[in-house]
Amino acid sequence: MKTIEEIKLPIKNEMELFEKKFSNLMISKVPLLNRITHYVVNRKGKQMRPMFVFLSAKIVSDEIVGEKVFRAASIIELIHTATLIHDDVVDSSNMRRGFFSLNALWKNKIAVLVGDFLLSKGMLLCIDNDDFDLLKIISNSVKDMSQGELLQIEKTRRLDIDEKTYFEIITKKTASLIASCCALGAAASNGSKDKIDYFRKLGEKVGIAFQLKDDLFDYGNKKIGKPIGVDLKEKKLTLPIIFAINKSSIPKKRWLINSIKNHNKDNKVIKDVINYVKEVGGIEYTHSKLRFFHQSALSDIKELDESVYKESLEKLVNYVIEREF
């Protein structure tokens, strides 16, 4: 599998310039906020979402990348960072990318306010530059992510999620932002309405496959950034366990639901549940769904005109979905 640096090569200059622009964008006159945003910028991830923006933009128009594309990439990174900060508060998580989360260092109130600041910064970046087409795309994404998170919280409490609802949740909560990355790139390069929608649907398929891969990590045997069984311990019903419940007899269904509802902190019980899910085919079923969305996304990419940007987009999709982290 290609490394992220190899995939980035066709847009290397754009990504380097983006990092400088994004760092400047995060500067604040409020000392506390400045310290926190400096902490955030210095602990950035792989920046795959801005890469989706730039590659989509370059595929739509192979001209010099304009300021609007850089703004689109900045908007995505601002919104993504804000949602991660808010997620850590919602999930009471003290770690993010191997470092202490903002809520662990500065407590929930400040973390929520910083997330709000970044969200507003992203929206204002659109408004101040009259990028109302970009604003519409990202606003819909924020709406979908919020609805997806709330739907998951509701279903987690009741433990009554089915496969259709599961896909609704991950489409809204995870896939909508990656869909927006691709749509924003196309829109910022003055792509047609059909072209923007094409890239949005492509990004949505990638996002669904990305989440399916993430859910499978909960049943793995490697340390890949989150402990095994963490979703089950948080009472999150992902596709492997949903499949297992649907395939089980009534006594087994009761055992699974009871284990997750009342014994989710018991490591032995969680291990037994994981083993059972594997035995009844929950992992293979999830892999089959992942392969479907992965191949569907690659089929969409094959329809695009040949270019180094198309090749990199295909490699990026493979990297995101085949990752072991």
DSSP string, 248-261: S-HHHHHHHHHHHH
Q: How many domains does the chain have?
A: 1
Q: Give the model's pLDDT for residue 99.
A: 86
**Residues of the domain holding 166:** 4-322
Taking the C-alpha atoms of residue 48 and residue 68, their distance in angstroms, rounded to an integer, is 18
pLDDT reported for residue 1: 58
CATH number of the domain residue 23 falls in: 1.10.600.10
Q: The dihedral of CA 37, 42, 48, 52: what is its sign?
A: positive
Q: Which of 240, 227, 226 is nearest to 273 (CA)?
A: 240
Tens digit of pLDDT for each residue in 16-64? 999 999 999 998 889 999 999 999 888 878 899 999 999 999 999 988 8
Which residue intervals of the chain are DSSP H helices?
A: 4-8, 12-25, 31-41, 48-60, 67-90, 102-128, 132-158, 163-170, 176-188, 193-217, 230-233, 239-247, 250-262, 267-279, 282-302, 308-322
Q: How many CB atoms lie within 10 A of CB 230?
A: 14
Residue found by looking up tokens 């519409």 in the block: 136
Burial of 306 (0-12, 13-18, 19+ CB in 10 A): exposed
299: tokens are 């089929």
Q: In angstroms, what CA-CA distances link 325 with 50, 215, 224, 320?
A: 19, 12, 4, 10
Identify the pLDDT of residue 34: 93
The mean pLDDT value of the chain amounts to 93
- The three-class DSSP label of residue 156 is helix
Percent of the chain residues topping a pLDDT of 90: 80
Residue 123 has pLDDT above 60, yes or no: yes
Residue 4 has pLDDT above 70, yes or no: yes
**Does pLDDT of 225 surpass 60?**
no
The encoded tokens of residue 251 equal: 């006594």
What pLDDT score does 92 carry? 85
Cα separation, 180 vs 226, in Å, equals 26
The pTM (predicted TM-score) of the whole model is 0.93
Q: How far apart are the first and last CA of the chain?
A: 13
Radius of gyration for the chain, computed over Cα atoms and rounded to the nearest angstrom = 20
Q: In angstroms, how far apart are the furthest CA atoms of the chain?
A: 63
